[in-house]
Amino acid sequence: MDNLEIIVITYNRAELLGTTLDRLAASPFSTCRITVLNNASTDHTQQVVWQKQSLFTNLRLVSNVVNIGGDANILRAVELATAPYLWILADDDSYDFTDVSDVQQVLAQGSVDLIHVGAHTGVAWDKGGTTATPRQLVRQGYPYFLFSSFLPCNIFRREAFLPHLIAGYKNIISLYPHMPFLQHFYTEDKPMYIARRRIVSAGIGAQAYDHTEQYLGWLRTSRMLPNRRDAMKCLRQQFFLDNNVDMALYYTKLCLRQRAYRPGWPWMFGSLTVMEKLRFFLVPIGRALVQLGKLTVRLVRATGHGLRLTWRFLKATARYIASQCRATVRGIRNIINNLKDDE
């Protein structure tokens, strides 16, 4: 298949890379031009590629002189590719090449600029075999932005991506360098194809950033869409697809706590449903009332204890004064009696 080029990006995961190459060698895509883009790995990545050379007709290794970062390596892959279509793969995902004839046919026809072939695990793949525009698919419940964020999901026409290469480099700071092209594709609303079967499923490898950084990067990426409503959909699909209210509240508050991202708070809050917005205000108020109630109970108990101590002190003082008064009276009486006896 001369019109598709596959580039596998990798860094210090030689064993996973070997497994991925084995899967590709046993697939209908084994005759494609396949490049392993090594991001200056320090393990035995090169030896693994050399060992797999005999399994392919067109396998090459390209190694970066220095580690340019995983996101920059994605754009480097776009620059290196020469075939009309490009499929960038990671080295830690799962593949099922049981039925890929429909994808091969669409690639041969060259009728679309984008093909979705995979998704995150745990998300239904119920639009397979469909040709439609992204907006049509989103209206039907298809998580276009979520699936697009998973890089190996996308087989795209390289010439369509190139005008967005600079925007991709600028968006490296947001961890999604491929999304400017895919957001523009959504805005243009051109036809795309969804593979009949899920070919690739996202794996969970070692990440160089934490979940909070990923969220804030996706917030910035979502805001690049020119239409606010589309930006809300993009933001919500990535993190709130299952209507996880607690997560929605968490990220909304995160925007308020992070000084650099406070301008994103209206976007975050605007993506919440009516019930989530109510909960955003009512839950903290409810928690504050509970704490206030507990504090009041403690105060009442402390006040009651203090009153009891004060009452005991006053009673003891009164007894002491009374005893002193009685002693004084007895003394005076004794003095008077002594005076009478002296007379």
* Count of domains observed in the chain: 1
Residue 329 pLDDT more than 90? no
Q: Is residue 261 a contact partner of residue 215, using CB atoms and an 8 Å limit? A: no
pLDDT at position 241 is 47
* SS3 (DSSP) at 29: coil
pLDDT at position 321 is 82
Q: Say if 286 falls within a structural domain.
A: no
342 pLDDT band, cuts 50/70/90, is low
Of the candidates 29, 40, 93, 98, the one whose C-alpha atom is nearest the C-alpha of residue 70 is 40
Q: Is residue 308 a contact partner of residue 284, using CB atoms and an 8 Å limit? A: no
Tell me what percent of the residues of the chain surpass a pLDDT of 70. 83
7 pLDDT band, cuts 50/70/90, is very high
* SS3 (DSSP) at 232: helix
Give CA 110 to chain center in angstroms.
34
Q: Per-residue pLDDT tens for 89-128? A: 999 999 999 999 999 999 999 999 999 999 888 888 999 9
pLDDT at position 145 is 95
Q: Say if 325 falls within a structural domain.
A: no
Weakest-pLDDT range from 215-224, 271-280, 306-315: 271-280
For residues 198-211, average pLDDT: 72
Weakest-pLDDT range from 137-146, 166-175, 218-227, 255-264: 255-264
- As given in the structure block, the two tokens for residue 290 are 């509970």
Q: Say if 244 falls within a structural domain.
A: no
pLDDT at position 253 is 62
- C-alpha 55/C-alpha 88 separation (Å) is 20
Give CA 337 to chain center in angstroms.
98
**Residue reference for tokens 């003891």:** 316
CATH number at residue 54: 3.90.550.10
270 pLDDT band, cuts 50/70/90, is low
300 compared with 171, residue with greater pLDDT: 171
pLDDT at position 242 is 47
Tell me what percent of the residues of the chain surpass a pLDDT of 90. 57
Q: Say if 323 falls within a structural domain.
A: no
272 pLDDT band, cuts 50/70/90, is low
- C-alpha 339/C-alpha 253 separation (Å) is 89
pLDDT at position 295 is 82
For residues 244-263, average pLDDT: 58
194 pLDDT band, cuts 50/70/90, is very high
254 pLDDT band, cuts 50/70/90, is low
- C-alpha 276/C-alpha 243 separation (Å) is 9
For residues 16-27, average pLDDT: 96
Across the chain, mean pLDDT equals 86
**Residue reference for tokens 């490898």:** 205
pLDDT at position 51 is 95
* SS3 (DSSP) at 196: coil
CB atoms within 10 A of CB 138: 18
Domain limits for position 107: 4-208
Of the candidates 74, 51, 60, 13, the one whose C-alpha atom is nearest the C-alpha of residue 32 is 60
- As given in the structure block, the two tokens for residue 51 are 């060992």
Of the candidates 123, 143, 338, 107, the one whose C-alpha atom is nearest the C-alpha of residue 236 is 143
Residue 8 pLDDT more than 70? yes
Q: Say if 242 falls within a structural domain.
A: no
20 pLDDT band, cuts 50/70/90, is very high
Q: Say if 94 falls within a structural domain.
A: yes
For residues 41-51, average pLDDT: 96
Q: Is residue 126 a contact partner of residue 196, using CB atoms and an 8 Å limit? A: no
Longest CA–CA span in the chain (Å) reads: 143
29: left (phi over 0), alpha (psi -120 to 50) or beta: alpha
228 pLDDT band, cuts 50/70/90, is confident
Q: Say if 125 falls within a structural domain.
A: yes
